[in-house]
């Protein structure tokens, strides 16, 4: 009985300002499944400043990530090699030239 | 999932990030008829998005360029099958994701081992935040800093983070792509965010020191 009480007290001490019902460790172990709508209503967060701060930071990272723009530009050689590979995969019929507007029409394509 | 499969319909959440682009619909029709200029126009419209996706998933410039080329070659072969059921950019980006995933599986490297990436050892898992912390991230990081941190994520974490938080795919879509459970996708994403948080805090401490 005494051991159980001591364990309970230790668990409570692991949650600074938190609910004895769930320690920070226990809450964070379950966090991946809890993330999303409604997590802010979780009982542990009503009284745990540390886990609230952790959640703020994880949501902040996610928000910044949503704003990552497609800023990277491929080099010009990507287009050149692409055209080359299209021509290799789809040579002009009867050994002739490509039409002035470019690639063979869809109906002639393989692959 | 094979890169040769037709990309499935995307979720509505993904559509929000792919609004219609002026001139795109006409260019698609012309490219379907074999007009090279229109195909080049489509390439110019989407090359940054496709390349950025490849680069973020792979963290390797040479591989990202090769797979950008491969994605557009696939586009050339498949554009006739595009019927407009979803936004073209959504369809194209899913095609590009499949190209990257197939490449990773062919390489057989650890980044596509689901056992390794989805069930990492305890040491690889997210550290809990029980101890004291003297710096806060809120308001202090920019996109460039985060981009650098993403490059330093373990490959398995990076894949799920890029697909979910950057590209906007839902967990059920990611689970389908990676052939894992929704719970695993959620777990990987959480670990990725925790790892990023660690990396960003480390960067802050170095700046302060």
Distance of CA B161 to the CA centre of its chain: 8
Structural domain includes residue A77 = no
Q: Which domain holds residue A11?
A: 2-66
* Residue A90 belongs to a domain: no
pTM, two decimals, is 0.77
Cβ–Cβ of B190/A31 closer than 8 Å?
A: yes
Domain assignment present for A101: no
Interface of B with A in 96-135 (CB under 8 A): 128-130, 133
Q: d(Cα B3, Cα B97) in Å, to the nearest integer?
A: 8
> Buried b / exposed e across B16-47, counting CB within 10 Å, b at 16+?
ebbeeeeebeebbebbbebbbebbbbbbebbb
- Angstrom distance (rounded) from CA B75 to CA B24: 14
User: Hey, are the CB atoms on B35 and A29 less than 8 Å from each other?
Assistant: no
Whether A75 is covered by a domain: the verdict is: no
Residue A97: inside a domain: no
Q: Label residue A96 by pLDDT band (50, 70, 90).
A: low
Low-confidence ranges of chain B (pLDDT < 50): 1-5, 8-10, 12, 14-16, 110-125, 132
Q: Is A111 inside a domain boundary?
A: no
Distance CA B96, CA B56 (A): 12
Query: Domains of chain B, with CATH numbers?
Result: 12-107 (1.10.1740.10), 110-208 (1.10.10.10)
pLDDT of residue A88: 82
Contact map slice: A 27-46 vs B, CB within 8 A: 28-29, 31-33, 35
**Are the CB atoms for B69 and A81 separated by under 8 Å?**
yes
* Minimal CA separation from A107 to chain B, in Å: 8
Is residue A55 included in any domain, yes or no?
A: yes
Decide if A46 is inside a domain.
yes
Q: What is the ipTM of this complex?
A: 0.77
pLDDT of residue A9: 44
Number of structural domains, chain A? 1
| pLDDT tens digits for range B93-129 | 999 999 999 999 888 754 444 444 444 444 444 555 6
């Amino acid at each position: 009985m005494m051991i159980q009480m001591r364990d309970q007290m230790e668990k409570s001490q692991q949650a600074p300002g938190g609910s004895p019902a769930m320690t920070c460790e226990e809450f964070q172990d379950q966090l991946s499944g809890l993330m999303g709508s409604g997590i802010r209503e979780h009982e542990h967060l009503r009284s745990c400043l540390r886990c609230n701060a952790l959640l703020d930071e994880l949501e902040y990272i996610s928000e910044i990530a949503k704003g990552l723009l497609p800023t990277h530009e491929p080099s010009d050689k990507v287009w050149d090699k692409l055209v080359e590979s299209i021509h290799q995969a789809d040579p002009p019929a009867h050994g002739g030239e490509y039409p002035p507007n470019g690639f063979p029409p869809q109906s002639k394509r393989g692959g | 999932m094979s890169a040769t499969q037709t990309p499935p319909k995307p979720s509505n959440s993904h559509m929000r990030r792919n609004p219609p682009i002026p001139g795109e619909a006409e260019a698609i029709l012309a490219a379907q008829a074999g007009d090279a200029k229109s195909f080049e126009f489509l390439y110019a419209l989407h090359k940054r998005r496709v390349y950025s996706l490849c680069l973020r998933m792979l963290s390797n410039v040479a591989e990202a360029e090769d797979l950008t080329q491969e994605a557009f070659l696939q586009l050339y072969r498949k554009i006739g099958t595009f019927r407009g059921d979803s936004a073209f950019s959504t369809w194209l980006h899913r095609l590009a994701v499949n190209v990257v995933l197939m490449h990773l599986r062919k390489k057989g490297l650890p980044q596509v081992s689901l056992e390794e990436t989805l069930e990492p050892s305890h040491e690889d898992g997210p550290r809990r935040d029980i101890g004291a912390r003297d710096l806060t991230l809120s308001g202090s990081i920019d996109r460039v800093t985060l981009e650098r941190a993403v490059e330093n994520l373990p490959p398995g974490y990076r894949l799920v983070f890029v697909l979910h938080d950057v590209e906007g795919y839902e967990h059920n879509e990611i689970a389908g792509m990676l052939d894992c459970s929704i719970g695993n996708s959620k777990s990987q994403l959480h670990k990725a965010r925790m790892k990023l948080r660690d990396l960003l805090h480390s960067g802050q401490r170095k700046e302060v020191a």
